[in-house]
Structure 1
Amino acid sequence: MEERTQNNDFIELDFTGYLQDGSIFDTNNEQIAQKNKLDIKNPERTMCIGQRFLVKGFDNALIGKEIGKEYVIELSPKDAFGDRMPELVKTMPIAVFHKQNINPAPGMSFFLDNYFVRISAVSGGRVIADFNNPLAGKKIKYKFTVIRKITDMDEKIKALMRFFYRQEFEFSIEDKKIIVKLSKNLAPLIEIAKPQWREILGFEIVSEEKDENSKKIKEAETKPQT
């Protein structure tokens, strides 16, 4: 009987996302990205099923899949990036953008106060700004293959760190605890997603202040003499 994926499995996933016209909007396959001149660097290939590493419809579709088999799914907007919301198209004073040293023009897109925005029109000191996801309202397709299930705990922990914190930290495992070594100013990061760590791995995650002085002394001791 073929091995199939289950909820909360960690997997290595190869995927490519397509619009209805066949153009690629996303991939974690570096060769496909390069061939299609997509600016995608260090794409994530480790996913935890059921934890919304991906859009809802794609995440749900990963359950019950055979390892090594290629699949194709089509998603409606509600299962992908959502429907377009008219209330997210706003008319704003151009001064709001000038304060951020931005000179808006139709077709421009950028982040404004941590929100992605696309400029639809500029006229008479007013700007029509669209805060909808660029893929909102679109039907999309994913082609994907589950390469393998991941069982190594270190791989799982590093994947969750990248997902929750956008970076990896030094850590150790002791008695169902993941002890993360951080500088004092980064310690509050660990409070983010503590319940999810317990739910997914059954481990508590705690922080331990990194001894920067010891690290500097050790580096000095091992530095070659000139």
Structure 2
Amino acid sequence: MVEKGTLVKITYDGYVNGKLFDTTNEELAKKEGIYNPRMIYGPVTIAAGEGMVLPGLDEALLEMEVGEERELVLPPEKAFGKRDPSKVRVVPMKEFQRFNIRPIVGMPVNIDGNVGKVVSINSGRVLVDFNHELAGKEVKYRLKLEAVIEEPEEIVKELVKMYMPSINTDDLKIKMTKKTVTINLPEVCSFMNNIQTIKMAIANEIIKRLDVDKVSFVETFVKKKQDKEENENKE
């Protein structure tokens, strides 16, 4: 059994009406025609029971053992929710014109941070459905609990990975004492969007989960080989 808040690695495949719509398996995604080159495939680290996955998956994880695999059928209320008629709204055409957007039926849109899909267009009125596209549908999942993250240094690595999914954790250098954690980040992290907010979120998670008093980030910049050669040639 997994305790709430424990960091775990999971893999999963999600189906609706027999068709795969989400997976952590790259080969399966390619085979089923849903491969996205911008996605990072492989086991996903989450905090069990903390709402990072669908409610039905969260509930199942708290009952599973490492290595266990389950097939789950999730009703709408345990998946993407029931359809809410109030989330189907009319948006004036001028809202789209303001951003020089020409709405088309089926187009995904983001209005004031709410993601929806254009349902119909009529006389300057655009009907947008802000329900999740799988709201109201029963979904099936194959879920496997791959591992539980317990070692402090591994917890730090996985927390960094959660907020910086593109990073290779082998490039991280971590120094730990009883009450402090120092993380040496690769140079590429300095150019990430919202890097200060990301570092603050990572630090807060580490402090909460490992009961440490201080988290420090070190960013190291190394002279490029080309720069070294140019300096040598000048000499």
What is the TM-score normalised by the length of structure 1? 0.78
Q: Helix, strand or coil: the match of 2:18? A: coil
Tell me how far apart the structure 1 counterparts of residues 56 and 119 of structure 2 sit (CA, whole Å): 29
Alpha-carbon distance, 1:9 to partner: 3.1
Tell me how far apart the structure 1 counterparts of residues 173 and 114 of structure 2 sit (CA, whole Å): 32
Q: Helix, strand or coil: the match of 1:78? A: helix
Tell me how far apart the structure 2 counterparts of residues 99 and 171 of structure 1 sit (CA, whole Å): 47
Match of 1:23 in 2: 19
- Work out whether residues 190 and 206 of structure 1, in 8 Å CA contact, stay in contact via their aligned partners in 2: no
Q: CA separation of 1:164/1:208 partners in 2, compared to 1, >3 Å: closer, same or farther? A: closer
- Work out whether residues 2 and 64 of structure 2, in 8 Å CA contact, stay in contact via their aligned partners in 1: yes
Alpha-carbon distance, 1:162 to partner: 4.0
Alpha-carbon distance, 1:193 to partner: 6.9
Match of 1:172 among 171, 174, 192: 174
Deviates more, 1:39-48 or 1:101-110: 39-48
Tell me how far apart the structure 1 counterparts of residues 197 and 63 of structure 2 sit (CA, whole Å): 37
Match of 1:186 in 2: 195
1:201 maps to 2:210: yes
Q: Which amino acid aligns with 1:186?
A: I
**Residues 138-177 of structure 1 mapped to structure 2, 5 A cutoff:** 138-164=137-163, 168=167, 172-175=174-177, 176-177=179-180
Alpha-carbon distance, 1:209 to partner: 6.7
Deviates more, 1:172-181 or 1:105-114: 172-181
- Work out whether residues 47 and 53 of structure 1, in 8 Å CA contact, stay in contact via their aligned partners in 2: yes
Match of 1:35 in 2: 31
Q: Helix, strand or coil: the match of 1:199? A: helix
Ranges in structure 1 where 5+ consecutive residues have no aligned partner: none
Q: Helix, strand or coil: the match of 1:111? A: strand
> Deviation per CA, 1:132-167, whole angstroms, max 9, x where unpaired?
111222221111222233334444333323434666
Alpha-carbon distance, 1:61 to partner: 0.8
Q: Which amino acid aligns with 1:122?
A: I
Alpha-carbon distance, 1:112 to partner: 3.9
Identity in percent: 27
Match of 1:97 in 2: 96
Deviates more, 1:27-36 or 1:80-89: 80-89
Tell me how far apart the structure 2 counterparts of residues 83 and 194 of structure 1 sit (CA, whole Å): 36
Q: Helix, strand or coil: the match of 2:95? A: helix
Alpha-carbon distance, 1:195 to partner: 5.1
Match of 1:134 in 2: 133
Q: Helix, strand or coil: the match of 1:141? A: strand
Tell me how far apart the structure 2 counterparts of residues 204 and 38 of structure 1 sit (CA, whole Å): 44
Tell me how far apart the structure 1 counterparts of residues 147 and 190 of structure 2 sit (CA, whole Å): 35
Q: CA separation of 1:161/1:99 partners in 2, compared to 1, >3 Å: closer, same or farther? A: farther
Q: Which amino acid aligns with 2:40?
A: N
Tell me how far apart the structure 1 counterparts of residues 166 and 56 of structure 2 sit (CA, whole Å): 26
1:79 maps to 2:78: yes
Q: CA separation of 1:31/1:48 partners in 2, compared to 1, >3 Å: closer, same or farther? A: same
Cα RMSD after superposing both structures = 3.2
